[in-house]
Structure 1
Amino acid sequence: MKYARPVVPLLLVAALSACASGNKDESGSSVSSAPSSSVSSAPSVTASSETSASASPTPTQPVRINPEDVDVSDPDAVADAFAVTAVVRDARTDTSSTDAQARASQWCVPSLAVTEGAELERPDGEWTAMQEHEAYDVVDEIDRTIDDPVPDTTTAYRMRTVTTHAEAEDGWRGQTRTTQLWITLEQSPEGAWQVSAVTSRVEEGEPA
């Protein structure tokens, strides 16, 4: 993935060379199948700690996607599940800053798989602070109000924008992070969609 301060490749996309070839400069979307921008309107993905994604994430738990509730025959559902899973980190249980991408690998082609516990050479300062406070990411908004108009064939293009902030039980709160993901998906002969390429950009705002 790529970061916007400056843009640098993340482990999940380090091996990709052409992931932007089909992706337009779209904006992201809500978890719902209709273009809106609230997590609370999301019917297509179930998230939890362990709760439903149709409810807004609670202020004390990170959103977690239940794989059994993701319709892999729907590229929008797969894009939603991948986007949320890839950006939500939990320093209480994660052993590295890339464990979120490792969890998201279940919706990716094998070549994009990230090994759990594989740390970046220079993890960002936010992750270091999250470790110190045993913090976790909370989803504030998932947006896809402008999505790719190209008709789906066996390849689909999606964009998701996920806004999160980290918080901890000791009252610490991190910066607001907005992650834009340009996602390419491929459909298998059996009809299941998988993420085959992804590029991302992260922008950090003021403390939440």
Structure 2
Amino acid sequence: MSTLTDFAITSKWPAQHPDRLQLYSLPTPNGVKVSIMLEETGLPYEAHTVRFDSNDQMSPEFLSLNPNNKIPAILDPNGPGGQPLALFESGAILIYLAEKTGRFLPDEPARRYETLQWVMFQMGGVGPMFGQLGFFHKFAGKDFEDKRPRDRYVAESRRLLTVLDRHLAGRDWMLGEPYTIADMAILPWVRNLIGYYDAGELVGYQDFKQVDRVLQAFLQRPAVQRGLEIPART
């Protein structure tokens, strides 16, 4: 039977609590999806900071767990069949944790697939488009004289926000009720767009009152407030 010490990543980030789920992450939108889910479920876990400024994500140890060199990734010592499970991709991790705990993913098949469609909406649309807008508005891309790339992502981000705003009218959360992994997937990206990327004015965020209403409710949840700071930046 394999143990955590059989995984190379633990040589760089030793587990102080090897009986707990190990999280390798940063408090980015994709990272906090998982830390929020862990806080919401109450699963015991240990968080490890993967520092981009020292290229931790490119180290052989991290690549042994996630060959795609992205955070977050997890190593669960109590995976299916009692065997350790290594997993990357934030959407896959959310689904795994929901199924492991029986929480935040409806059991009823139609509602389950409806939840998953919105998780995929975030993975395929919201994350990539908001991220590209951040690059062209806040990071190196802002220096490009040609603003057509930026404007393309502004338009697409605004379109996605319009989809969300229409859907959330009359609903407390993405599924109406209950609160699910779809909310944990989408709302950290909205927060990042108007916060860290400072693109609220650019996309006309004031027009999306339903999105902001639900975002504010999300940010009031104690587990969300804790998860947004995990793992701590060092």
**Greater gyration radius:** 2
Relative to the length of structure 1, the TM-score reads 0.23
Q: TM-score w.r.t. structure 2 length?
A: 0.22
Greater per-residue strand proportion: 1
* Structure showing the higher helix proportion among its residues: 2
